[in-house]
Amino acid sequence: MGPYHWLRWLAAQGLPRFALRAWARRGDTLSQLTTEPSALENPYPLIESLRQRGRLARSSLAWATTDYELSRIILRDNRFGTRAAEGFDIPRPLAWIVRKAPVPPNPVEPPSMLVIDPPEHNRMRRPVASAFTPRAIARLEARVESVTEELLDALPSDGDADLIADFAAQVPIAIISEMLGFPDDSRDLFLDWGDRMTPLLDIGLPWPVWRDAIVAIGKMDRYADQHLARLRREPGEDMLSALVGAGELNDSELKATASLLMGAGFETTVNLIGNGIVQLLSHPEQLARLRAEPELWPNAVEEVLRIDAPVQSTARVPITDGVEIDGVRLRRGATVVVSLAGANRDPKVFDDPDRFDVGRANAKEHLTFSTGIHACLGASLARMEATHALRALFGRFPDLRLAGAPERRQLFTLHGYRRLPVALGRRAEQRATVS
């Protein structure tokens, strides 16, 4: 990394970091949500404070909404785009810095699907979508089950474990690695790189965190170059081989897609499984209901997605002047933060929204996977992985309990645990043998 990268961090992260902390000290709710450790641990009290300010609230940082109906409107309205800087006029000095300090393809910059709009978004998404059709997900189900069982077999009976490192992270990394044709021995590399890259989804990162993320992206980029060359020589049956063979995406687009799936998409599932474990251990009456009514497991996963969203927010910007939402005229390029976590607890849609209820009739109406053209491609896969993982874990270890305080990741956008220490208890089959 050169000196211009420090200038790039200063412009894109350092100055916003300074401003956010200053606004937070002055009581700006949205700035507090993005910076204060207590809010990163438990954002929901501040989200409710934001809700009290109206359907569309103005803050020092941006406009924000926690309203379910308004969130759906904004996410599905083609007058709004993503936060891609290239779509708007940016100051010449900043554009010069970006050119002087390029970074490899990654999940949060074009050509990543996460931050581009039609028609380019449609061109990028179309060839990838075939890997996430219901038929394609059904073909993966047996593999998810076998991976889950292998991981549970490896956990010690009557022992301790960190269920993030030893279980929740291992299920999705195994599946996504196979989908991208990566060898099994690369999983630890991607777990490390993904962990270091995902803070880029936030704003106001400190220099060491941003620098570490860019270094990880560089390492992944060099690995991906070698991997793509290998797939061209020896294509496999995986999704990335199919994309390479189709020739619809260039190397930069292929690498951006792979990094998006390995980064943001993978982390979502890790957070979902981890959040689900904690919710069920914290609500033993709900776990007991699942044991009595196992057909509720898929709905329980929807309720975890609703009440403790692994993706807390997203952002949109008007792409034309004069866009009016809820009586407010927004200028072109004005940021609107959509609190997915807030929409998921909107009392106008979800009765008693702070209550965890695995039988909630409309749990699946949550917005955790967004909606509209940017709805998460891997939503069905994440649901299926989490359902198998949670059902099998609690079936195998019926006496599972926390063995210490779970440690949250200090991130605003992605909400999950870094560590989840548990005492596993005896395996169900050993209990049966003894009795």
Per-residue pLDDT, 361: 98
What residues of the chain score a pLDDT lower than 70? 83-92, 94-95, 430-435
Q: What is the pLDDT of residues 247-258, one digit of tens each?
A: 999 999 999 999
Per-residue pLDDT, 96: 76
Alpha-carbon gap, residue 337 to 325, rounded angstroms: 13
Q: Which of 195, 262, 165, 250 is nearest to 223 (CA)?
A: 262
Class of domain 3-100+123-434: mainly alpha
Per-residue pLDDT, 255: 95
Give the single-character DSSP code of 183: -
Which 3 state secondary structure label does DSSP give 281?
helix
Per-residue pLDDT, 83: 63
| CB neighbour burial string for 384-407, b if at least 16 within 10 angstroms, e if fewer | bbbbbbbbbbbebbeebeeeeebe
**In this structure, are residues 197 and 259 in contact, taking their beta carbons and an 8 Å threshold?**
yes
**In this structure, are residues 339 and 315 in contact, taking their beta carbons and an 8 Å threshold?**
no
Q: How do the domains of the chain map onto residue ranges?
A: 3-100+123-434
Residue whose structure tokens are 């043998």: 433
Q: What is the pLDDT of residues 7-44, one digit of tens each?
A: 999 988 999 999 999 999 999 999 999 999 999 999 99
Alpha-carbon gap, residue 270 to 411, rounded angstroms: 14
